[in-house]
Structure 1
Amino acid sequence: MTTQEKKEFIIKILDTQSSVTVSQLSEAFKISDVSVRKLLAAMEQEGLVKRTWGGAISAYGSLNEFSHKEKEWKHTAEKLSIAYAAYDCISDGDAVFLDCGTTTTQLARVIRSGSKRKILVGTNAINIAMELSEAEDISVIVIGGNFRHRILSCVGAYAEEMMKTLFFDKGFISGNHLTLEHGFTTPDLQEARMKRLMMASCKEHYIALDYSKFGDDSLGLIASVSDLDGIVTDWRTPAPFIDQLRDRGVKVVQGNEVLSTREGMFV
């Protein structure tokens, strides 16, 4: 494969997912990590990608927002590992808030099939409420408002007013990106405002992000790194990045590589 073909291969990958790692490219191209880093450095100079911890991200800009359908089948193993790690943070009898998102949808499925019961789940995501509709021993509170068809979330003034009147033990909040410099961000400003209220309404909140979400910024700030209680991520997130988060006082829970089932819990 020529250098140009490798560049086209990387760009094609980043058209369908937000990041790629050095190790993935090294395996795909059968070249050393050093050679991959040199290639990514050259592509960054050409404005084709942005380099991150252990890889690169698309240079698509701060306004890009994938729909639920576009994200649903991306990084599924990583999202499932996050769901299991998040489930371990939940106790019987907890009141838990689940933000919209494909990772939190996985968590809803684990809650539905898991052994912990007497849980109350609040959510602003219609699909998450439906995931829990058959678990009659899991109470569900649905936050209503302006429905975002692509993301399956409810936002706006009505949703915000309702959110202000509820208080949960733990919250699991999704987003688009996180950097050490600028913090936790999302492209939509209404979503950013709603997520800030979610964080304020939870005694303890966790940001649920897979490895592909680190190293870039979206338009709207949700919270700085110093305002985060904890982050739940997967085994692919680079260790140096996790170390820096912990150095800043953020609790990091990291999921292990998993198969499609665990301890009889089908998702």
Structure 2
Amino acid sequence: KDALNLPVKDSIGAHAAGLVKAGDNIIIDSGSTTMTLARHLRGHRDVTVMTNGLNIAWELANAPGVELLLTGGLLRKQSLSLQGSQAEASLTTYSFDTLFLGVDGLDLQFGLTTHHEAEASLNHRMVERARRIVVLTDASKFGRVSLHRIARLDQVHTVITDASIDAEYLEGLQRLGIEVIIAESPA
């Protein structure tokens, strides 16, 4: 999954990192696109990151300007992500500036979705704990509806995607008041 659309995902991650400022407290959800965000945060200063992604934690473990928190929980080996009741409970005492969320599907009517129930439940808790929700997704996820809903689109503030976004989705998201950032992949 990491190798799919890598230049596009890297560009999305770079744009997302540009939204992070010194003093921010953020959540980075597990996933291949959010992993690129972590890579672009290594040079940031005075940022606190909570994540449920072991690969994201590993990426940021030696970043001198990043304080790192892990959710804990049950390891889903396929995605190297932590989930379950312990992961959800770990969020309850925190308030975050921004959640950077990866999704399996984004539909204008149904909202943000994923294939896994435990992941959807944890992501829903993340949405509740953050003041700003930023979705990182390549355009292939638009129009997909997976089994489990994470959140409604009216809870989303920003979507960072690539230039392949369909005009219907671009207009639909903007009509809902969602900022859409188009990340161009390097030539």
TM-score of the two chains, using structure 1 as the length reference: 0.68
Confirm or deny: 8 A CA contact 1:82 1:234 kept in the other structure: yes
Indicate the residue corresponding to 1:256 in structure 2: 184
Q: 1:162 aligns with which of 90, 104, 107?
A: 90
Cα RMSD of the aligned pairs, angstroms, is 1.2
Which of 115, 125, 137 is the equivalent residue of 2:53? 125
Equivalent in 208, 211, 216 of residue 136 of structure 2? 208
CA distance, structure 2, for counterparts of residue 130 and residue 85 of structure 1: 21
Question: Given the superposition, is the C-alpha separation of residues 81 and 239 from structure 1 closer, same or farther in structure 2, using an over 3 Å criterion?
Answer: farther
Out of 212, 222, 226, the residue aligned to residue 154 of structure 2 is 226
Question: What does residue 73 of structure 1 align with?
Answer: 3
1:144 shift after superposition:
0.2
Does structure 1 residue 110 correspond to structure 2 residue 15?
Answer: no
1:107 Cα offset (Å):
0.5
- Runs of 4+ with >6 A deviation: none
- Secondary structure of the 1:257 match is coil
Shift of 1:226: 1.9
If you compute each CA radius of gyration, which structure gives the higher value, 1 or 2?
A: 1
1:30 corresponding residue in structure 2: none
Flag the structure with higher helix content. 1
1:135 to 59, 63, 69: 63
**Cα offset, 1:238, TM superposition:** 2.1
Match of 2:113, SS state, is strand
Q: How many residue pairs end up in the alignment?
A: 187
Unmatched tracts of structure 2, length 5 or more:
none
Deviation at 1:243, TM superposition (A): 1.3
Q: CA offsets per residue over residues 98-135 of structure 1, 9 Å max, x none?
A: 000011111100001x3x31111110111111101121
Query: What SS is found at the alignment partner of 1:78?
Result: helix
1:83 to 3, 7, 13: 13
Residue of structure 2 aligned with 1:190, choices 118, 131, 147: 118
2:108 is matched with 180
Task: Tell me, yes or no, if the aligned pair for 1:78 and 1:235 is still in contact at 8 Å.
Answer: no
Deviations 1:56-108 (A, max 9, x none): xxxxxxxxxxxxxxx11001011011111111111112111100001111110
Q: Identity percentage over the alignment? A: 33
Return the letter of the residue paired with 2:11: S
Query: Match of 1:246, as an amino acid?
Result: Q
Residue in 1 aligned with 2:27? 97
CA distance in 2 between partners of 1:146 and 1:250 (Å): 33
Deviation for aligned residue 1:224: 1.7
Asked if structure 1 preserves the Cα contact closer than 8 Å seen for 2:127 and 2:151, the reply is no
8 A Cα contact 2:133 2:155, kept in partner: no
Q: Deviations over 1:177-233 (max 9, x none)?
A: 011121111111111110011111111111111111111110001112222222111
Letter in 2 for 1:154: L
State the Cα deviation string for residues 23-72 of structure 1 (Å, max 9, x = none): xxxxxxxxxxxxxxxxxxxxxxxxxxxxxxxxxxxxxxxxxxxxxxxx11
- Residue 142 of structure 1 deviates from its aligned partner by 0.7
Instruction: Extract unaligned runs of 5+ from structure 1.
Output: 1-70, 260-267
Given candidates 237, 243, 257, the residue that maps to 2:171 is 243
2:19 aligned partner, one-letter code: C
Whether contact under 8 Å (1:108, 1:131) holds in the other structure is yes
Q: Secondary structure at 2:68's aligned position in 1?
A: strand
Alignment TM-score, normalising by the size of structure 2: 0.95
